[in-house]
């Protein structure tokens, strides 16, 4: 069961990071 959780984390973390980066980038671009 730990292996499945680790795989889910490995799949989820990059997506969350990309979404956070894109949202931050859009807000920074919108401020200009």
pLDDT of residue 16: 95
What is the predicted pLDDT for the residue at 2?
A: 93
pLDDT of residue 30: 84
Q: What is the pLDDT of residues 1-32, one digit of tens each?
A: 899 999 999 999 999 999 999 999 888 888 77
- Distance CA(24)–CA(17), nearest Å, equals 10
State the Cα–Cα distance between residues 29 and 22, nearest whole angstrom.
10
pLDDT value of position 3: 95
pLDDT at 29 (0 to 100): 87
């Amino acid at each position: 069961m730990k292996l499945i959780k680790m795989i889910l984390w490995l799949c989820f973390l990059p997506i969350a990071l990309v979404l956070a980066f894109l949202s931050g980038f859009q807000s920074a671009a919108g401020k200009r």
